[in-house]
Amino acid sequence: MKIMHRLTLKSLRMNKSRTVITVVGIILSMALITIVANSVSSLRESLYNQCLKSNGNTDVYLYSEKPTSENIEKIKLNRNTEEVYLEQVIGASPFKDSSSKFREYIFMNSYSENFYEKCYDFSLKEGHYPQKPDEIVLSRNFVDYSSKKYKLGDKLTLDIGTFYKEMEIGENGETAVMPLSLDDYYILFDEDTKFVKSFTKTYTVVGILDSEMTADYDTGSYHVNIYGYTDLSDNIQTVFDGGSYKTISVKIHDGSIDNSIAFISDLTGIDSKDIYSEIFDFQFDESGQSETQKKLEECEFHISGISINESLYDSVAKFYRTMDTVFYVVVGLIVLIMAASVFIIKNSFSISVTEKTVMYGKLSTVGATPKQIRNSIFFEGFILGTVGISVGLLIGIGGSALTVMIANNLLHGILGGLNIVLSVSWISAAAAVLLGALTIFLSSLSAAVRAAKISPIEAVRNNKEIRIKKNKKNVFRTPKLVNKLFGAGGKLAWKNMKRSRRQYRTVVISIVVSVSIFIGIFSFVSYALYFYDTTVMSRNYNISLYLSDYAGSDKYLSFDEKEAVFEDIAKYDEIDDYSYTFNDPSLYLLYDVPYNKLPKNIKDYSNTVRLDPREEYVYDEETGFTLVDEPQEGWDNISDSATLIAFDDRNYKKLLKKLGYGYDEMKDKAILVNVNVAYLLADGEKDEYVPHTIKYMEDSVGYKLDMRYHLYDEKTGLYLPKEKHLSLEIGGEITDLSEFKDWIIRDDLYYGSLIVSKEWLLKNYPDTSRIESNMYISSSDPVKTEQSLGKIDQQIYINNISDEARKINSVASLVQYLVYGIIVVISLIAVTNIFNTVTTNMKFRQKEFAMLRSVGMTKREFNRMITLECLFYTVKALLIGVITGIIETVVIHYLFTNMWNEDIMGKPLGFIIPWQSVLISAAAVAVLVFVITCFSKLKLNKQNIIETIRNDNI
């Protein structure tokens, strides 16, 4: 090996600590970038996997009425086909052994064998997947709700059929009894539907699943599931004819929207554009078939419909859209880390080379060419870089695996069971390697150029360390204060700081960078959490539930029975506060608000975003009902739809008391939530939307609302006005929602809401059994409450807000910890850098210090000088860092203020002083400096004075 290379290696070996520190710096940077990049790619991959889980791993759906086995075979043999799955809807059957009064039917779907194995991620508890027409597997919901226990080999005899309803099929009012698809709606809501059996069949249970298909997972459904086998042949008994019940789904190579369309086009011979249009363009004209549909029918496969698994391809795009903020934060972080890494690697390298300046000078005198010296520096960079980058990459990948493991544990059971898998992003690994290599190369380059420029004589004399600035005086006075406080030691320390700025520049910059980044990120997170807390997270209840009035077997709960259920729940020990509400969303009540009751600024605009112009159905003999929604001449009002809401007695009375109304005076009137709302109103003149804060209604108290019913008309599919009018006088109003900030009913106090008494509601509603009832609970033990609620034998849909809050909190915490972790690592890198620089500086000045001691400086004064030096530059660095951090906080404050809606929140966004982060950084820096000073003092004090002075080989 060449002498220069040998020398470089030897010097690296002999200066172990310096070498290690430099390499560690490189390793840390590489590892960090890798971990962050891999976290993002892992999350993305996991979301994709989740989509696979819910929709299955397939691309194209072909619906066919009578698929022949030749057709299926042909599709299988197509060069783009990877896998062909067969799906068929069989029918429903009454669930005779149901243990729940709500799970009344069994729905059966059948699939080809490969579907169970490859398309979907079923988990088989025991047995095997169905392989013959009479074999079935039971899903978990079947097992959960079956009062009878089934084992493998048991027989299950089912009366299979579906729901039928008399429907109009022609234009002349002809009706026929038509079969309906399997849908809970027909079980529950449609009184005209009837279940009719088509056939009876006995199936053999060959397997029991530990799950069901994601689409079938529903706590509120009225059926359970079993799955069978199909090959789409006539051997499979089914209730349904018709195309949409038999599906051939195909997984193609390189699934994408374009390739899926190309596949269909290739298979059927129809132009891709037509296929695209058929799938994505919505056709309103339902009369007859489109050209493409005809062609699909007529082609050899007799396809009655096509669709593709778009959401699978969307998942990646969706990921970036919904995770926008997170994505940008992450990108910002990576850029930050890279910048810090570049800075630190460059510095480490620079130090390493500076140390060897004397050696290079000596080599130069012996005859080493500048080129040889440059090459040796590059060689050093190459060695350090190779080791650092490769080890860093490995540690990064290991760290990513660890992060994924930790994330899975923290997020266990949250976010819909998303399981995060490790996905190593090779692109970012390559990018990181490239960046690292580039940085090291550039650092070597600048060091090499610098080293070669120094003439051998200057290098030997080593006088480049002290920069003599051209126009500045070499003589200056040390501030009197320094002199008085710190004496001779302080004077020297001050002079040193002023004269050899370069030495400490790196240390100062390292500290400034670390401190300001820390404070900046800390502030960002503080604002983000505060924002989240006040706008999204603040709810006064942690469980909400909806009580369905369906009591099973075509029975419905009465109003009193519903109330009784709520009152029972209210008695739980752990419930701190509760409210329940009644309203009827199927009712559509309109009333007019005359212009003179509208706030002045919107009267002039006839087309506002909030208030639609009055909608009126005008009936004409010839044209039937038409909707008129443009302002007509002579109209002097706009219409609005009513939100009537009644609270439970307890809360209603509490509300009245607070507002100062009596029960008797209000019980037949409404309280209007008449608050300021911020809107964008169209400015006809300026032709743009202008923000306004307006009150809902002027002079509302005393105004009588004349509400018109609109009920759903099946024939026309419209909400048509009925004869019946409802009169309601506004007896009072709420104008300031901030007073109800902590009330549990706060979320129901929506602008425009009309609060009525329960009495009025019961008296005036046409059909009280259809009233929707919701309950909101603030529980000190939400888990216990949820369990108790689950035991009630009613159809209750529970929304555990605290669970959701926990989920969101977990994610927020995770991101927070990740960010802090990254800061810690950046700081570690900065610390190694600082350590590096300071120890080198001390080393260089050993002779100088030895001379000071020989001239007569006492140990104490010497120590003081060292301490002061360290103190001076770190205090300087800390100040700059803190000020920079505060400036960053101000910028962040400004950014968040833009998003903060002062009118809705009721107050401006307050400035969050980052005193915590400032204190933490100050403390950290203080500790660091203390350690360095002690270490330096220790090392220097050990010197033997005269040996150091005489030793020219330092």
Q: Measured from the CB of residue 11, what is the shortest distance to other proteins in angstroms?
A: 6
Q: Measured from the CB of residue 385, what is the shortest distance to other proteins in angstroms?
A: 22
Closer residue to other proteins (CB): 153 or 367: 367
Cα 120 to Cα 36: distance, rounded to the nearest angstrom: 31
Contact 314, 257 (CB under 8 A): no
Closer residue to other proteins (CB): 576 or 848: 848
Amino acid at 134: D
Give me the numbers of helices (H) and strands (E) for the chain, helices first please.
Answer: 29, 26
Q: Measured from the CB of residue 947, what is the shortest distance to other proteins in angstroms?
A: 10
- For tokens 């889980």, name the residue: 53
Q: Measured from the CB of residue 374, what is the shortest distance to other proteins in angstroms?
A: 11
Amino acid at 188: L
Q: Measured from the CB of residue 456, what is the shortest distance to other proteins in angstroms?
A: 5
Q: Measured from the CB of residue 466, what is the shortest distance to other proteins in angstroms?
A: 15
Q: Measured from the CB of residue 14, what is the shortest distance to other proteins in angstroms?
A: 5
Closer residue to other proteins (CB): 239 or 363: 363
User: Is the torsion defined by CA of 732, 737, 740, 745 positive or negative?
Assistant: positive
Cα 515 to Cα 921: distance, rounded to the nearest angstrom: 6
DSSP state of 556: B
Contact 108, 160 (CB under 8 A): yes
Contact 225, 142 (CB under 8 A): yes
Contact 315, 28 (CB under 8 A): no
Closer residue to other proteins (CB): 468 or 938: 468
Helix (H, G, I), strand (E, B) or coil at 79: coil
Query: In sequence order, which residues have a C-beta less than 8 Å from that of residue 621 and are 6 or more positions away?
Result: none
Amino acid at 100: S
Contact 204, 135 (CB under 8 A): yes
Q: Measured from the CB of residue 441, what is the shortest distance to other proteins in angstroms?
A: 22
Q: Measured from the CB of residue 445, what is the shortest distance to other proteins in angstroms?
A: 18
Closer residue to other proteins (CB): 151 or 473: 473
Closer residue to other proteins (CB): 149 or 473: 473
Q: Measured from the CB of residue 818, what is the shortest distance to other proteins in angstroms?
A: 44
Cα 258 to Cα 15: distance, rounded to the nearest angstrom: 60
Helix (H, G, I), strand (E, B) or coil at 582: strand
Tell me the CB-side half-sphere exposure of residue 87, using CA atoms within 13 A. 19
Contact 228, 106 (CB under 8 A): no
Cα 229 to Cα 319: distance, rounded to the nearest angstrom: 35
Nearest 10 degrees: CA dihedral of 751, 755, 761, 763? -120
Closer residue to other proteins (CB): 456 or 881: 456
Q: Measured from the CB of residue 355, what is the shortest distance to other proteins in angstroms?
A: 12
Cα 186 to Cα 166: distance, rounded to the nearest angstrom: 13
Cα 424 to Cα 427: distance, rounded to the nearest angstrom: 9
| Residue 681, both tokens | 């109103």
Query: In sequence order, which residues have a C-beta less than 8 Å from that of residue 310 and are 6 or more positions away?
Result: 257
Closer residue to other proteins (CB): 10 or 477: 10
Amino acid at 692: H
Closer residue to other proteins (CB): 19 or 315: 19
Cα 34 to Cα 401: distance, rounded to the nearest angstrom: 11
Q: Measured from the CB of residue 843, what is the shortest distance to other proteins in angstroms?
A: 13
Cα 792 to Cα 271: distance, rounded to the nearest angstrom: 57
Contact 527, 912 (CB under 8 A): yes
Closer residue to other proteins (CB): 366 or 481: 366
Closer residue to other proteins (CB): 367 or 908: 367
DSSP states along 21-88: HHHHHHHHHHHHHHHHHHHHHHHHHHHHHHHHHHH-S--EEEEESS--HHHHHHHHHSTTEEEEEEEE
Closer residue to other proteins (CB): 9 or 883: 9
Closer residue to other proteins (CB): 159 or 465: 465
For other proteins, the binding residues (CB under 8 A) are 2-4, 7, 10-11, 14, 359, 362-372, 455-457, 460, 951-953
How do strand 676-683 and strand 796-800 relate by DSSP bridges? Answer: unpaired
Contact 776, 575 (CB under 8 A): no
Closer residue to other proteins (CB): 453 or 653: 453
Closer residue to other proteins (CB): 3 or 169: 3
Q: Measured from the CB of residue 347, what is the shortest distance to other proteins in angstroms?
A: 23
Q: Measured from the CB of residue 935, what is the shortest distance to other proteins in angstroms?
A: 24
3-class SS letters over 847-871: HHHHHHHHHCCCHHHHHHHHHHHHH
Cα 903 to Cα 672: distance, rounded to the nearest angstrom: 19
Query: In sequence order, which residues have a C-beta less than 8 Å from that of residue 335 and are 6 or more positions away?
Result: none
Cα 127 to Cα 104: distance, rounded to the nearest angstrom: 26
Closer residue to other proteins (CB): 132 or 845: 845
Closer residue to other proteins (CB): 7 or 638: 7
Helices marked H in 638-690: 649-659, 663-666
Closer residue to other proteins (CB): 308 or 447: 447
Separation in Å, CA 11 to CA 5, 17, 332: 10, 11, 38
The total number of residues shown for the chain amounts to 954
Cα 783 to Cα 785: distance, rounded to the nearest angstrom: 5
Q: Measured from the CB of residue 3, what is the shortest distance to other proteins in angstroms?
A: 3
**Cβ atoms within 10 A of the Cβ of 169, count?**
12
Q: Measured from the CB of residue 467, what is the shortest distance to other proteins in angstroms?
A: 16
Amino acid at 203: Y
CA 760: distance to chain centroid? Answer: 44
Q: Measured from the CB of residue 847, what is the shortest distance to other proteins in angstroms?
A: 13
Q: Measured from the CB of residue 363, what is the shortest distance to other proteins in angstroms?
A: 7
